[in-house]
A and B are shown apart, each in its own frame.
Chain A
Amino acid sequence: MHELDVLKRALDRERRARKQAEALLEDRSRELYCANQELKELTDALREQSHRTQAILDTAAEGIITIDQQGIVESFNPAAERIFGYASAEFIGKNIKMLMPAPHSELHDTYLANYLATGNSQVLGIEREIQGLRKDGTTFPIEVSISELVIGDRRIFTGIVRDVTRRKHLETQLAHAQKMESVGQLAAGIAHEINTPIQYVGDNTRFLHDAFGDLSQLLSLYEQLEQVCEQDDPPQAILQSIQATVAAKDVAFVREEIPKALDQTLEGAQRVARIVRAMREFSHPGSKEKHAVDLNQAIESTTIVTRNEWKYVAELITDFDPDLPPVACLADEFNQVILNLIVNAAHAIAETVEGSDEKGTITITTRAKSGWAEIRVADTGRGISEKHRSRIFDPFFTTKPVGKGTGQGLAIVYSVIVERHAGAIDFVTNEGKGTTFILRLPLENSTVRSGEVTSEALGSTAERAVPVADSMSLPATQGVGHDGASGQQDWTGG
């Protein structure tokens, strides 16, 4: 019986243990089911997110390329395929430097290694304009911004690429159109400038023509006198004719005036030649490469071309640094900048002297200062009101009446000086007294092509202005660019 009781109790414990196990099993099944449901929902959500992300990559207009820390391409979206001409299947696994022309292709591995070792980079997170290299070997301008992603111990770099060839072409066309617009606007003034010397060239030439006629008559009489003397005939009749002719033609006056007329004619011709030469230099299609330009000469030419714009309202004074070295720049764009500033200065002065006989002053100075070529264009016009100062470089912003300006002048000045030449621009203004624009161009030799920003370039692509270190004679208010920052920003590519 005892054994039976033991067995019964054991059986009872086993039965209860089994029920426990069954209950636990049911609980586990329920948990597993819920976990599976959760997992399924998570998987569905992840799949949808993956599809969405892939769709964004596939349909993005910009090229999106990811590389690992060795520079090996991991992904290459359809837009990148179109931009560079590679199929993603053939390019994934290749080094990103294949999309760069020399010398950057040779340097990229070093750039990347330096960043991984030091953590120092000035290209992450900013938009840069560089040259890309297509599969067919052609280079073209692109805008690139790069970001970094860290997953565990892996670093992935993502590049967003935009082909800006068409935009560059449009910018060139716009610049040319602006230049032609300027040329057109100046055409009437230039015609007048040329017409004035042509007038007195004509007047003097007519005088010389008439004087020559008179002198020819006199010379004929002297020839007759010579014949009479040779024939030993009495010369009195001829002498009387000569004296009468001398008196009638006022030969003394003619003798005195002919040299003057010749001088004036020559001067007039030279003046026309100077205007034509300046016009030709100004309107000649510019080179896309920067080359060394004598800024003093370029400014001089521009003052000649614009003379009709300022001569009625201002005196223009130039104070050029004779030791200013040639500056690597785009000549036609620089000329456009000076033209825009001179025209603006003249318009500002015109508003203050209107109705009076007074004239204002435009002063243009050049100096070489600490590695920069500094150009100042100062006027004694109305100045810039405080409410407008922050906007004067904005495209299409203008305070002039309709028809008198498109608002592109200073925007172009900013674009050319800061973005195209890595220079700096600032202004000092005093309402009612005048404004001075200060331009700075780097004096260092640059091997860049226009539009390309490389490790050798200086300056900011996004920030404006360098504060003027030395004070102006005007008790002025600083321009909006004044923020105390240095005008130079060094950055290295890679």
Chain B
Amino acid sequence: MKGIIFTEFLEMVEDRFGLEMVDRIIEQSDLESSGAYTAVGTYGHDELLQLVCQLSASLAIPVPDLVRAFAHHLFKSFTSTYPYVLEGLNSSIEMLQNVEDFIHVEVKKLYPDAELPTIGFRKLREDCWELTYRSRRPFADLCEGLIEACINHFGDDVHLEREDLDVDEGSAARFILHVTREAATCTNLTS
């Protein structure tokens, strides 16, 4: 997992809970990297799981809630650092449609060795879309958080449903987006 995830996570923890919390969760985890992360490095995703778990234990907040909160932070940070990913987009549906074929491609340019999840996106009917998440890592919660952050960013009225899928390896989930306004009126959407 790319270091940027770790640096953003620790930055969020420092911003919200202080440097001491960062130090605590690092010292309490058994990290091969000893907690020294650079954004361009690559580290095992189990280290992130340890840090999240330590934070969850310290704050008594469930891990999924923490991961979703982190996803919101991540979305804001990415779109702030790389504003061009939002250019020409008018709705969350348009952005989610772009994840696999544009955003992930841009990520690969910066981090060629990044292992990214596979995102499928299709229209089920006029006001209903499906997003599928498949990954070697168990971060469907992060995906859900990013979708929520995206919807919030555009201010769309979208009801999100999630279904975890059974897979032999890694993790997979299916998200159904029920659109009530804004996104459904976009004329350049394709299924």
Whether A20 is near chain B, meaning CB under 8 Å from some CB there, is yes
B41 touches A10 (CB 8 A): no
Whether A39 is near chain B, meaning CB under 8 Å from some CB there, is no
Q: When chains A and B are docked, how far (Å) is the Cα of A14 from the Cα of B41?
A: 13
Whether A107 is near chain B, meaning CB under 8 Å from some CB there, is no
| Size class of the contact patch on chain B | 10 to 19
Q: Which residues of A contact B39 (CB under 8 A)?
A: 21
Q: When chains A and B are docked, how far (Å) is the Cα of A21 from the Cα of B34?
A: 15
Whether A170 is near chain B, meaning CB under 8 Å from some CB there, is no
Q: Which residues of B contact A18 (CB under 8 A)?
A: 38
| Size class of the contact patch on chain A | 10 to 19
Whether A168 is near chain B, meaning CB under 8 Å from some CB there, is no
> Which one of B22, B34, B40 lies within 8 Å of A16 (CB-CB)?
B34
A13 touches B34 (CB 8 A): yes
A24 touches B34 (CB 8 A): no
B19 touches A20 (CB 8 A): no
Q: Mark A1-26, 1 if CB is under 8 A from B, else 0.
A: 00100110110111111101100110
> Which one of B20, B36, B40, B41 lies within 8 Å of A13 (CB-CB)?
B36
The CB with the most chain B CB atoms within 10 A, among A6, A12, A25, A28, is that of A6
Whether B23 is near chain A, meaning CB under 8 Å from some CB there, is yes
Q: Mark A323-366, 1 if CB is under 8 A from B, else 0.
A: 00000000000000000000000000000000000000000000
A17 touches B36 (CB 8 A): yes
Q: Report whether over half of chain A's contact residues are helix, strand or loop; otherwise say mixed.
A: helix
Q: Mark A22-59, 1 if CB is under 8 A from B, else 0.
A: 00110010000000000000000000000000000000
> Which one of A6, A9, A12, A21 lies within 8 Å of B40 (CB-CB)?
A21
Q: Which residues of B contact A12 (CB under 8 A)?
A: 36
Q: When chains A and B are docked, how far (Å) is the Cα of A20 from the Cα of B37?
A: 8
Q: When chains A and B are docked, how far (Å) is the Cα of A10 from the Cα of B18?
A: 12
Q: When chains A and B are docked, how far (Å) is the Cα of A193 from the Cα of B22?
A: 125
B19 touches A13 (CB 8 A): no
Q: When chains A and B are docked, how far (Å) is the Cα of A203 from the Cα of B161?
A: 127
Whether B96 is near chain A, meaning CB under 8 Å from some CB there, is no
Q: Which residue of A lies closest to B7 (CB)?
A: A17
Q: Mark B12-23, 1 if CB is under 8 A from A, else 0.
A: 000000011011
Tell me, rounded to whole Å, the shortest Cβ–Cβ distance linking B114 to chain A: 14
Q: Which residues of B contact A17 (CB under 8 A)?
A: 36-38, 41
A10 touches B19 (CB 8 A): yes
Q: Which residues of B contact A28 (CB under 8 A)?
A: 40
With A6-B19, A6-B20, A7-B19 as given contacts, are A13 and B38 in contact (CB-CB < 8 Å)?
Answer: no
The CB with the most chain B CB atoms within 10 A, among A3, A7, A13, A15, is that of A13
Chain B contacts with A in 21-50, Cβ cutoff 8 A? 22-23, 26-27, 34-41
Tell me, rounded to whole Å, the shortest Cβ–Cβ distance linking B49 to chain A: 19
Q: Which residues of B contact A13 (CB under 8 A)?
A: 26, 34-37
Q: Which residues of A contact B38 (CB under 8 A)?
A: 17-18, 20-21, 24
Tell me, rounded to whole Å, the shortest Cβ–Cβ distance linking A288 to chain B: 65
Q: When chains A and B are docked, how far (Å) is the Cα of A21 from the Cα of B37?
A: 9
Tell me, rounded to whole Å, the shortest Cβ–Cβ distance linking A249 to chain B: 124
Tell me, rounded to whole Å, the shortest Cβ–Cβ distance linking B170 to chain A: 27
Q: When chains A and B are docked, how far (Å) is the Cα of A466 from the Cα of B165?
A: 72
Q: Which residue of A lies closest to B42 (CB)?
A: A24
Tell me, rounded to whole Å, the shortest Cβ–Cβ distance linking A139 to chain B: 54
Q: When chains A and B are docked, how far (Å) is the Cα of A15 from the Cα of B23?
A: 15
Q: Which residue of B lies closest to A9 (CB)?
A: B23
Q: Which residues of B contact A9 (CB under 8 A)?
A: 23, 26-27
Q: When chains A and B are docked, how far (Å) is the Cα of A13 from the Cα of B35?
A: 7
Chain B contacts with A in 125-166, Cβ cutoff 8 A? none
Tell me, rounded to whole Å, the shortest Cβ–Cβ distance linking B38 to chain A: 4
Q: Which residue of B lies closest to A7 (CB)?
A: B19
> Which one of B23, B34, B36, B41 lies within 8 Å of A6 (CB-CB)?
B23
Q: Which residues of B contact A25 (CB under 8 A)?
A: 40
Q: When chains A and B are docked, how far (Å) is the Cα of A281 from the Cα of B26?
A: 113
The CB with the most chain A CB atoms within 10 A, among B19, B20, B22, B23, is that of B23
Q: Which residue of A lies closest to B27 (CB)?
A: A9
B41 touches A21 (CB 8 A): yes
A20 touches B20 (CB 8 A): no
With A21-B41, A24-B41 as given contacts, are A16 and B36 in contact (CB-CB < 8 Å)?
Answer: yes
Q: Which residue of B lies closest to A13 (CB)?
A: B36
Q: When chains A and B are docked, how far (Å) is the Cα of A13 from the Cα of B40?
A: 15
Q: Which residues of A contact B26 (CB under 8 A)?
A: 9, 13
A10 touches B22 (CB 8 A): yes
Please provide the 9 A-B residue pairs with the shortest distance between their CB atoms, ordered closest to farther: A16-B36, A21-B38, A17-B38, A13-B36, A20-B38, A6-B23, A17-B36, A24-B40, A13-B35
19 further contact pairs, Cβ within 8 A, besides A21-B38, A21-B39, A24-B40: A3-B20, A6-B19, A6-B23, A7-B19, A9-B23, A9-B26, A10-B19, A13-B26, A13-B34, A13-B35, A13-B37, A14-B36, A15-B36, A17-B36, A17-B37, A20-B36, A20-B41, A24-B41, A28-B40
Q: Can you pick out 5 interface pairs between chain A and chain B where the beta carbons lie within 8 Å of each other?
A: A9-B27, A13-B26, A15-B36, A17-B41, A20-B38
